[in-house]
Amino acid sequence: MTEDVIIAKEGRIGRIALNRPKAIHALNLAMCRAMIDALVAWRDDAAVEAVIIEHSEGRGFCAGGDIRMLAESGAKDGVEARAFFHTEYRLNHLLFTYAKPVVAFMDGITMGGGVGISQPAKYRVATEHTRFAMPETGIGLFPDVGGGWYLPRLEGRVGQYLALTGARLDGAECLALGIATHYLPSEKLAEAKARIAAHPDRIGGILGELSATAPHAAVMDHLDKINRLFASDRYEDILAALEADGSDWAQKERDTLGTKSPQTCKVALRQLKEGAAMPDFAAEMAQEYAIGARVVQMHDFLEGVRALIVDKDNSPKWDPPTPEAVSDAWIDAIFAPLPDEETWTPLP
């Protein structure tokens, strides 16, 4: 058991509380293993009727995965990074297929790995503190943990917009787009959790009673522009559309994309296009594992982590440096299936 996650039974529920406040509860391998062990044990435990996933304290639900560890591993043989991805994706898949209702409280920063453990939940609760994003293109990674499944299933081209720009959504925007199922004021969360523990057969009703009217969801004001300007699955077309549009909004988004890894943006667009057609979530995770196993050892990820997380100079030197320089063959190699003995598999 790891102290980085608190696992307990309370009333008629199982409770998982992420407990790395100094790292905004970023996931590490031990946390993923502990959550898997608990969920597997509770699967056949009649005393546990539902599961709550939350964070113990601090300003975020979960800021992602242990990026620094991934980069240090990727700079060597990548073995530790692949082990983390393999286990994290098994956790994501276990939650996606879990037979008992799961409630995720996305109170605060919910990014990367935090998206992976909240989006599979039947009930996804946003608050005024929620800040949801998949910011991986900024560090040369890609929107993994099932991003290729969830993002293309959002309204219009919002998923592609979020994947490319790393735009942050607040709680109201999460509710409007269906990323969250409920919007609660944060002062109601303790009551919600206590009532769910006592009456896990009434989760929907409890969350409904405690819900508040969400503020205006600003992202909805831009849906027409997002759908029009991010319409293509070809990255160069999106950049050209933004440049040609001339609006302040389009210029701001074009400037944002200018800071992202061209390789990662092309990976993300293909990932979402193929993810939209995946037969099931396991197939999506197998593909994301193949991508991750390669990308974690590539220049752009190591450089992105150096520039944004280690040195913090915020000026990564991407290679290939331009979208035009990232060939289809380059992307094909990243997406190629792994050898059978290295392929990701769900929990047996």
Q: Residue 320: is the preceding peptide bond cis (ω within 30°)?
A: yes
CB neighbours of residue 157 within 10 Å: 23
Contacts for 328 with CB less than 8 Å, ≥ 6 apart: none
Cβ burial, residue 324 (10 Å; 0-12/13-18/19+): exposed
Mean pLDDT taken over the chain:
97
Alpha helices, DSSP H, located in the chain: 29-43, 67-74, 79-96, 113-118, 147-150, 158-165, 171-177, 189-198, 203-210, 223-229, 235-245, 248-257, 262-275, 281-295, 299-305, 328-335
Q: Which residues are 104's β-sheet partners?
A: 53, 124
Percent pLDDT > 90 in the chain is 98
Residue 322 has pLDDT above 90, yes or no: yes
- The three state secondary structure string of 86-140 is HHHHHHHHHHHCCCCCEEEEECCEEECHHHHHHCCCCEEEECCCCEEECCHHHHC
Q: For 198-234, what is each residue's pLDDT tens digit?
A: 999 999 999 999 999 999 999 999 999 999 999 999 9
Q: Provide the annotated active-site residues.
A: 65, 113, 136, 144
pLDDT of residue 42: 98
pLDDT tier for residue 312 given thresholds of 50, 70 and 90: very high
- Cα(300)–Cα(165) distance, integer angstroms: 16
Which helix (H) or strand (E) is 14 found in, with range?
strand 13-18
Q: For residue 148, what pLDDT band results from cuts at 50, 70 and 90?
A: very high
Beta strand 131-133 with 169-170 is antiparallel
Confidence of residue 143 (pLDDT cuts 50, 70, 90): very high
CATH for 5-342 is 3.90.226.10
**Band of pLDDT at residue 19, cut at 50, 70 and 90:** very high
For residue 2, what pLDDT band results from cuts at 50, 70 and 90?
confident
Q: What pLDDT does 1 receive?
A: 60
pLDDT category, 50, cuts 50, 70, 90?
Answer: very high
Q: What is the mean pLDDT of residues 275-293?
A: 98
Measured distance CA(138)–CA(175) in Å, rounded: 25
Return the bridge partners of 276, or none.
none
Q: Show me where the domains of the chain are located.
A: 5-342
Is the distance from CB of 56 to CB of 19 less than 8 angstroms? yes
The first and second tokens of residue 255, run together, are 């400037």
Phi then psi for 75, rounded to 5 degrees?
Answer: -70, -15
| pLDDT for 99 | 98
Give the separation between CA 72 and CA 136, rounded to whole angstroms.
17
18 forms beta bridges with: 5, 55
Q: Which helix (H) or strand (E) holds 169?
A: strand 169-170
- Which 8-state DSSP code applies to residue 207? H
What mean pLDDT do residues 77-90 have?
97
pLDDT at 87 over 70: yes
